[in-house]
Amino acid sequence: MQIRNKKYLQINGEKLRVGIVVARFNKEFTDALLVNALDALEKCKVSDKNIRVVSVAGVVEIPYILQKLAITKKFDFLVALGCVIKGKTPHFDYVCKMAQEGILKVMLDKNIPISFGVLTVNNEKQAKERLHVGKEAALAALESALIK
């Protein structure tokens, strides 16, 4: 894992513009995902002025806002951050499917790298263990944006 982190820290994103869409639902976890994503971008020299963070109600709203950002053509890559914790009903399955398929559709239709930093977990313990995904999502999309 350390080798991978060193590799990513050599990425220079100073000229790139990023849009981050973060869900407010399960805010305890999504705030931490956002902090980790922003930290990774800072270490890769992405300027604060080149980062736009948009907060939405939940993960179902993420694809629509990603699409709105992609249409502007102001961004080199986008990051989706959210957290869905399984409950006792099938709602979890529908929400996760809508988010995943919607994000993929925007990425392919609008031809822009979008990382999937949406936690889909069984409980809060699993969510806490996966907060590093914010960093990984930001780095994955940044790296994809640099590939020509």
Of 91, 97, 128, 132, the catalytic one is 91
100-108's contacts with Cβ under 8 Å and 24+ in sequence apart are 101/63, 102/60, 102/62, 102/63, 102/64, 102/66, 103/62, 103/63, 103/66, 105/63, 106/63, 106/66, 106/67, 106/70, 106/78, 107/78
- In whole angstroms, what is the distance from residue 127 CA to residue 49 CA? 30
The verdict on whether 91 is a catalytic residue reads yes
Question: Active-site residue numbers?
Answer: 91
